[in-house]
Structure formats: structure tokens, C-alpha cells
Structure 1
Amino acid sequence: MSDRPPPKPPRQERWDRRMEIPLAVASLAFLTGYAVGILGHDRLPQAWLDLCLAVTFAAWAVFIADYAVRLRLSGLGPLRFVRTHLLDTVVLVLPLLRPVRMVNIYDRVQRRHDKPRLSLYARVMVYAGLTASLLGFAGALTVYQFEADAPGATIVTFGDAVWWACATLATVGYGDVTPVTPMGRVTAVGVMACGLALLGAVTGSFSSWLIQSFTREDE
């Protein structure tokens, strides 16, 4: 049996359109609360840290509610829905990927009158750039959270974490700063995989654009 998602029921399509902006706002709230809570953990009063934690969990609750409603409206069984919506499931489970939902609002702005304002190749590169920026920032936050106070850590400031995230996403891997905690290394594996995928998407799109441009010139 194919795991290709079946056509969406009309009710699910209406729900998806209705939730695009709320989900983007929830993603922004999640990233803001997560960032302020981590970067201000030793500077802010406990009340502010509790507020950041509450905002983070409230945003996560929005993601869970949206996932549950779409599962209900799809008419699919839970296992089939998970297989055909694997990316949504991974984003729901992994905090590192939740801010990527903000890319959806950019896609909505670009699609006016059901026609993208940018070409396919430009959209791939722009979306990859936005995704890399969000992933890099979220990955730096996560690694900094677990590495800053770890014994023998080389990532002791947020600047170190940002430098590590940039080098890892670019698949350079200087090795001057590396995670030493289990959670930091798990995060590193995810950032590496995403960096390879994004680099491949951008490189492939740019190569295809060059080939088409040279083909048109030859013709």
C-alpha cells in the first residue's frame, strides 16, 4: 500500500488554511519563550522564567491540538496518518524543528492569487535559507542549554553555540568547539542531517537553474 497522502477532505483543507497564521504565531511564541528562557536563565527573575516556560508549553499545546484535529478530519487511522504526515509528526515531537513552521507564513505571503511571486528555484533557495537560519538559531539555543555548565565543555557562551551551529550547518566542522553531553551530541546529529539536506536542495536547485539558463542560450 502506498504511503502517498490521499486528497484532503474539504473540512481539513479549510482547517489548514485557517490555522496557517495561528501556527506561525505559535512557532514564533515558542522560539521567543525558549530563547528568552535559556539566554536569561541567570539574569531574569524566576517569575519571568516561569512565564517563558508557560509560553513555550502553550505553543506546544497549539501544535498538539492542531495535529489531533487534522488526524480527526483526515479520516485516516493513526498509523496511516503518521506515515503520510511524517514531517508533521517529527516537528511535533522535536523542539528543534518547531520554529521551522514560521516558514509557512512566508509561503502564504508569496502565494497571492494562487500564484507564487518567486520562481521555483528562487523559492527553494529562499526557503532553505530561512529554514537554515531558524534551525541554526534553535540548534544553538539547545546546545547552549545543555553544554554551558557541563564539565569539560568547549561551548560555554551563546556565541560559541552560534559559531558551532554555523559550522555544522555548513558541513565544515572545524572541531574547535564540540558538544560533550549526550543531548548536545544528539542535537548535533540532527543539525548535521538538516545541513546536508538543505545544502543538497540549494546546490541541486542552483545547478538546475544554471543548466536551464545555458540550454536557453544555446537554443
Structure 2
Amino acid sequence: MKEAPVQVRWERRTQRPLFGLALAFAVAYAVPIVDPDASPEVVSACLSVEWVVWGAFALDYVIRLVLAERRAEFVRGHWLDLAAVVLPLVQPLRLLRLVSTLLLVGQRARMASQVRLTTYVAGSVVGLLMFGSLAVLSVERDSPNGNIKTLGDAVWWSFTTMTTVGYGDHAPTTGVGRMLAVGLMLSGIALLGVVTANIAAWFIARFEMDDVEERRQTEAIRVLTEEVRALRAEVASLSGTGLPGQVGEEKVR
């Protein structure tokens, strides 16, 4: 059996640790937003965790680049990973670290052969709802004209935005908040398309399986019918000529 390339082995071994770090990032990002009265030590610790997690994903990208057999093709094929690594360095904002980490986690999830499409879509929906709610709450809470002041308001707004319902009872008023709204709407449409395509593919596969089974049964019936016809012809032939023993007995009589 041919051994997998070094890059593939590295990706398999680091899959779970990186997802664990992603969960740590989620907690560190959520704590200061959910609890705005958290102590400066807690906020500082959360910011440190965010940078450490982003640094781990950035280091993972560099190692995969070094291990790649064709580095130029790797960069072209993983340009989104590169953008996510460089993005927080250009402007070190917490929101950019959030976006970059989500992109890196999503790219690594696509590489994992054991992660099925349904699981990936469900995780994407939950992640976008959670981080979208936290992100919009962080930028809209202190806005003078904003009406998204609590986590419940933010979660409700994320649901209505991702599903493109848009009741309008809660809406962002800042520029960053509106950019988040556009991102959530586009993500919701894209995920809805993926779910619809996945369901359609499942139905088509089921119909194809039923069609194959029907053709197999039809072929089996056809073969059985031919055998029955052959047996009938043989029985008719024997009935017309009689058995050899019976013919001899009739001559003796």
C-alpha cells in the first residue's frame, strides 16, 4: 500500500488539535462580549488566547507550505488560507482575527475526509450564528442609535439575517455591523444552496438505486421467463414423442 504524502499525514494528525484550539478561540472571543464587566485580567487572557490560536493556524499553514511537494500550486490552491493568515497582521482587530480563524477552520474542515457534508454545513450554521451574534453585539452595543443591546437581540437578528427573512425589528446601524449583515446574508444563501443541492443529490441517488434494483429484477424475470419457455418446449417435445422405454413396451404389446 502506497504511503500518504508527508503533508497529508500532517493534516490528519493536526486535525483534532486545531479544532480544539478553535473551540478555545470561541470561548475566548465570547467571554468579553457576553460579560462586558469582566476584569482587565480576564480580557487580556482572552485576547492572548485569540492570538495564540490564530498563531497556531498560521504556523500550521507555514508547515503545510514547507511540506508541500509543489509549493506554488499549494499557494494558488490555498489562497484563502494565506489571506486569513495575513489579514490580522494588516490591521490587528479582534473582528479580523475572528474572520481569519473562521476561514482557516473552514478550510481545514474541508480537507478532512471523515467530515461529511451534512456535519460541515450544520457546524457552519451554528458557528456563523454564534460568531455573527457576538460580533454584531460587540460593535452595536455602544452605538448611540443601535437597537441590538443584548445577546438575545443579537441572536434573533442573526437568525433573521441568515435566513434572509429580515423582519427589521433589529438592524445594525454602524458600518461594520452592516458589513457583518451582508456577510451573514451571503453565507445564509450559500449554505441554503448547499443544503438544497445535498438533498437533491440524495434523492437522485435513491432514485438511481431504485432504478438499478428495478432493472435487475426485470432482467431476472426475463431470464426466468426464458427458462420456463424452454422447459415447456422440452416437456411438449417429450409428450409428443414419448419416452424411449414406453415406446419399446408398446411395440412388444
TM over 0.5: yes
Return the alpha-carbon distance in structure 2 between the equivalents of residues 103 and 83 of structure 1. 14
Distance 1:216 1:18, change over 3 A: closer
| TM-score, structure 2 normalization | 0.69
The equivalent position to 2:58 in structure 1, one of 64, 68, 82, is 64
* Deviations, residues 65-87 of structure 1 (Å, cap 9, x unaligned): 1111112222414xx54431134
Return the alpha-carbon distance in structure 1 between the equivalents of residues 7 and 42 of structure 2. 37
Return the alpha-carbon distance in structure 1 between the equivalents of residues 161 and 74 of structure 2. 32
Distance 1:175 1:162, change over 3 A: same
Task: Specify the SS of the correspondent of 1:128.
Answer: helix
Alignment of 1:1-219 (within 5 A): 10-42=5-37, 44-74=38-68, 75-77=70-72, 80-92=73-85, 93=87, 94=96, 95-96=98-99, 98-99=101-102, 101=105, 111=114, 123-217=116-210, 219=214
Matched letter for residue 39 of structure 1: V
Return the alpha-carbon distance in structure 2 between the equivalents of residues 67 and 148 of structure 1. 35
Q: CA deviation at 1:97?
A: 5.8
Question: Which one has the bigger helix percentage?
Answer: 2
Task: Specify the SS of the correspondent of 1:23.
Answer: helix
Matched letter for residue 98 of structure 1: T
> Taking every aligned residue pair, what percent have the same amino acid on both sides?
39
RMSD after superposition = 2.7
Asked if 2 retains the 8 angstrom alpha-carbon contact of 1:147 and 1:184, the reply is yes
| TM-score, structure 1 normalization | 0.78
- In structure 1, stretches of 5+ residues that fail to align are 1-8, 117-122
Query: Quick check: which has more Rg, 1 or 2?
Result: 2
Q: CA deviation at 1:145?
A: 0.4
Task: Specify the SS of the correspondent of 1:156.
Answer: coil
Asked if 2 retains the 8 angstrom alpha-carbon contact of 1:29 and 1:55, the reply is yes
- Give the number of aligned pairs: 197
Return the alpha-carbon distance in structure 2 between the equivalents of residues 207 and 132 of structure 1. 19
Distance 1:106 1:76, change over 3 A: closer
- In structure 2, stretches of 5+ residues that fail to align are 88-95, 215-253
Distance 1:12 1:217, change over 3 A: closer
